[in-house]
Amino acid sequence: MARKNGILSQINDTWLKGAPNQNKKDVGFILNRIKQNVEQRVAATLKFVLTPAIEVSSFLDITLPGIHRPLGAEHPIIKTMREVVNVFRALGYSVAEGPEIEPDYYNFEALNFPPNHPARDTQDTLFVSGQEKKQQRDRLLLRTHTSPVQVRAMLAQKPPIRVVAPGKVHRADTADATHSPIFHQVEGLAVDTNITFSDLKGTLDHAMKSLFGSAVKTRFYPSFFPFTEPSADVQITCFKCGGKGCRLCKNSGWIELLGCGMVDPNVFKFVESNGYDARKISGFAFGMGVERITMLKYGIDDIQLFYQGDVRFLEQFA
């Protein structure tokens, strides 16, 4: 409405100037109506805004409840992921991430799964379609674990290295109470001179106590992964019954939590060019399922609850 640069004056100028002579009168008439209309509305709004609330209250019921906008909160999976990562950050680990779509090379080959080796069958892999023409190592897939970040981290940083990698992984599993085609893991890797299995045990024992309480004990059970040798599954004493045996631990007193092991020298061969010489260095790696840890921690019996977005479930973790 400003006299000089107001939109009304601009419209007035351009429309009136641009109109043919015989139409100037009609255009002027319409522009005048627009101007009056705007002025009336502005005046009414100003009056409303400037009227004290006590007078407004005759038509505005200020006792009506307002619109409740609950604060957002961290999703339980992200929360657990952050807790796990923080345990390792406190030990001096840095955080790395990798892509969720990987070439076969990073997900399998560089982790010592040779092409067509049966160990690949243990990971029900989702492949990107239409890549038959590519070499096997270049074919894209949805990463089945966060372990490819081990390889990427070692290519990006010379030893020594201490890194954790939280992230999303995919497997061709049918959804049920304990399976989901998308889930999350936190990977860990430590490489230096003279890293031994006792470093691995001490580190994970500390991590499990931080996450589940200082009373839990850990045990390392022989296992197999192509990229670690020796490999182990880590079990903790059941934090519910204290090891006596209950439903949660299926009466065994122990709960299996994660996979780990000493980095297989064959893996170092794939990153040798960046200073990883298996004769001079050694390391350990571990990987844990975030959903599983969260379910155990909070007594959740259905993994699907994490993905359904039901606020009644989620707000219990806020």
**Binding status of residue 261 toward ligand PHE by CB under 6 A:** yes
Nearer to ligand PHE, 120 or 145 (CB): 145
Binding part of the chain for ligand PHE, among 27-35, 95-103, 237-245, 258-266 by CB under 6 A, reads: 258-266
**Binding status of residue 112 toward ligand PHE by CB under 6 A:** no
Nearer to ligand PHE, 240 or 269 (CB): 269
- Shortest Å, Cβ 311 to ligand PHE: 31
Nearer to ligand PHE, 149 or 216 (CB): 149
Report the residue from 110, 285, 296, 303 that binds ligand PHE according to the rule CB under 6 A.
285
Binding part of the chain for ligand PHE, among 31-39, 68-76, 240-248, 281-289 by CB under 6 A, reads: 281-289
Report the residue from 103, 259, 291, 296 that binds ligand PHE according to the rule CB under 6 A.
259
**Binding status of residue 76 toward ligand PHE by CB under 6 A:** no
Helix/strand/coil (H, E, C) string of the chain?
CCCCCCHHHHHHHHHHHHCCHHHHHHHHHHHHHHHHHHHHHHHHHHHHHHCCHHHHCCCCCCCCCCCCCCCCCCCHHHHHHHHHHHHHHCCCCEECCCCCEEEHHHHCHHHCCCCCCHHHHHCCCCECCCCCCCCHHHCEEECCCCCHHHHHHHHHCCCCEEEEEEEEEECCCCCCCCCCCEEEEEEEEEEECCCCHHHHHHHHHHHHHHHHCCCCCEEEEEEEECCEEEEEEEEEECCCCCCCCCCCCCCCCEEEEEEEEEECHHHHHHCHHHCCCCCCCEEEEEEEEHHHHHHHHHCCCCHHHHCCCCHHHHHHHC
Nearer to ligand PHE, 80 or 147 (CB): 147
Tell which positions 196-255 bind ligand PHE, by CB under 6 A: 225, 228
Binding part of the chain for ligand PHE, among 27-35, 102-110, 238-246, 256-264 by CB under 6 A, reads: 256-264
**Binding status of residue 148 toward ligand PHE by CB under 6 A:** no
Interface positions with ligand PHE (CB under 6 A)? 145, 147, 187, 225, 228, 259-261, 285-287
